Amino acid sequence: MAVRQAKYFLEDIKTVNPDMQKIKAMIQRVAPSEATVLIIGESGVGKELIASALHNESGRPGEFVAVNCAAVPDGLWESEFFGYEEGAFTGACRKGKAGIVERAHMGTLFLDEVAEIPWPLQAKLLRVLQEKEVTRVGGHRRRQVDVRVVAATNRDLASMVEKGAFRRDLYYRLSVIPILVPPLRDRPDDILYLGEYFLRYYEGKSGKKFAGFTNRLKRFFLSYNWPGNVRELANCIEFAVSLEDGGRIDLDSLPHPLKEVAREWQERNKPEKCNGYNDYEEKLQILRVLNKHGWTVEGKKKAARELGISLATLYRRLKIHNICF
């Protein structure tokens, strides 16, 4: 089973969104503790990024051992998780093998897609968390382990518990510190910020030079639902940089499925003007000014002055545009 390294640090979590900034602050606070963490969020929001940052902020000297629970083959759960002794089964390594729990000793065990762990193994995993010891398949010796567990899921574990699909006691053990990661569509201030970040990142890798995004692409990005979240945005920008030779990235630069969505969006949206700006332009302007001055109360006052409106009007416009504040 492949073990991924903790290659992401706190500074790799790029954001200007207040909720994400709170998550970064929480990572710093809880990283040094031994409490288990449950990261909840849709696919593509960056759950492994957060888990990796937690490990690197923790100061734990052991490995960051990441396992995708949905990818463990049937019949191999116990041997992969807990290891096995010599002769435990046909084809076993001559000297036995340590499982992922032992490999994570003094480090962090990241259980991605934890909802996919089968019911029989859930009880054994719970025992490991409670007793801090593991017994290999085919053996009797109890091995002490010091493991910090971070789990992640894109499913509603609480609902699974109520339906009897996930152990209640394991759920409570895993969710000592829950971190709820908002989807990209609920972080409109991050959409263009991350888009620009990925553009510069892939621009640097390609050796090409780009002037940025066209205004209509920005408007489309802010209107799109981003079901694949940050991963989808990154892939979209990487595709566009690979396709184009420079200039401004436009709707025609998008990958095929998204390009079709953009064309439909163009047909549907011929926005009316409002105070000299259409809705999309106004939203862009508000985000730009807030990112410039900051999202504190003082920053919002400065942003309102630059926009030529009162603070109360700014708050109303934030609500209208569904911008979290």
Q: What does the pLDDT look like over 244-289, one tens digit per residue? A: 988 889 999 999 999 999 999 988 876 444 344 556 777 888 888 8
- pLDDT, tens digit, 9 for 90 and up, residues 276-325: 455 677 788 888 889 889 999 999 998 888 887 778 878 888 887 878 76
What is the torsion angle, in degrees rounded to the nearest 10, for the CA atoms of residue 53, residue 55, residue 57 and residue 62? -150
Beta bridge partners of 212: 248
| Amino acid in the structure at residue 66 | A
Cβ–Cβ < 8 Å for 34, 55: no
Confidence of residue 94 (pLDDT cuts 50, 70, 90): low
E-strand spans in the chain?
37-40, 64-68, 108-112, 133-135, 142-144, 148-153, 177-180, 210-213, 247-249, 273-274, 277-278
Domains in the chain: ranges and CATH: 10-182 (3.40.50.300), 185-320 (1.10.8.60)
- pLDDT, tens digit, 9 for 90 and up, residues 117-151: 999 999 999 999 999 999 998 788 899 999 999 99
